[in-house]
Structure 1
Amino acid sequence: MKFVTEYRDASTAQQYAQAIAQITTKPWTIMEICGGQTHSIVKFGIDELLPQEIELIHGPGCPVCVTPIELIDKAIALASLPGLIFCSFGDMLRVPGTQKDLLSTKANGGDIRIVYSPLDAVKIAAENPTKEVVFFAVGFETTTPATAMAVYQAKQQNLKNFSMLVSHVLVPPAIEALLSAPNTRVQGFLAAGHVCTVM
């Protein structure tokens, strides 16, 4: 199974579901780590294909969802400053702070720009030398190398107007906390492959 159409083949999916049901001999509680996994599991009905002995629990979710509200408020305060360009991934704009979100800050005149890579923010800083450019670095371990590369590139270009507000989240401490919690029901994790590769 290498291609998208093969993943959507009902007979192949049913064969896998039957194979899983045949080898499941006891109840299992499995937690998916990534919000993207949760989305795909629900969207494609994978949870409905599994035998009733397998219970899926939604885990820590995406780093966007677990960004501390204090950091969201700092981001909003920075983005509200005149003469400052605030760069962020698009999914952060609707995350609420205590009073408002970045999207409403943008609507009220904040110079907030959606970027697809930290290097986009470096480019914006190079193109706007008279303005401070702040990149909101949010993500799991997987986004940390790109954030580090942005810092490296900004230093290489001698950019004095580039800075970051950082909220990187580590997956292992979250897993350890879940496993060490009293009365935990989690028996296994469906870990995000890209996070496992970096860890």
Structure 2
Amino acid sequence: MVCIGQFAGSHGVRGLVKLRSFTGDPAAIAGYGPLTDEHGQRRFAVTLNGQVKELWLARVEGISTREQAQALAGVRLYVARTALPEPEDEDEFYHADLIGLPAETADGARFGVVKAIYDFGAGDMLELQRPGGTLELLPFTRACVPVVDVKGGRLVVEPPAVVEARPDGGDSDGAEAAGAGEGEP
């Protein structure tokens, strides 16, 4: 299942729901047929009725009051991965296709398995479960993840070097902090 949207609250008194779309073309969310909640227990037939800022106003079958619409706030909307079109470019992929892929270094050493992908506002981060169970976040950039091979079932990663701080405040590689020791009080 792939999350393609989320209900964001009610609009007006006649049951319209605010809807945040996560699809490439935001209006396409209504074209995927009935959407489900995360567990597939509830189905939502959605018709778009306009926009308010970055949100859609939607009519949801069976929802006719403000209270019913407001009760849907926060519900994430899902479709089966098979309902989505295949990416046209080899450098395009769905985040859902990366979950569970093994990650290895350029020399073929196992690095971990992709558990999740997050966007905290400064770009995507991969959460990798390392051998032994520890979790590690890695920037999802071309520099840190030079190869994404969904068909081959793997990622190649180049984790950034870790710079450890010395007790005296300098870096472990002998470099001093910029500006330190240059006649400053």
TM-score, length-normalised on structure 1? 0.18
Q: Which has the higher strand share?
A: 2
Q: Which has the higher helix share?
A: 1
Structure number, greater radius of gyration = 2
TM-score, length-normalised on structure 2? 0.19
RCO (CA 8 Å, sep 6+): is it higher in 1 or 2?
1
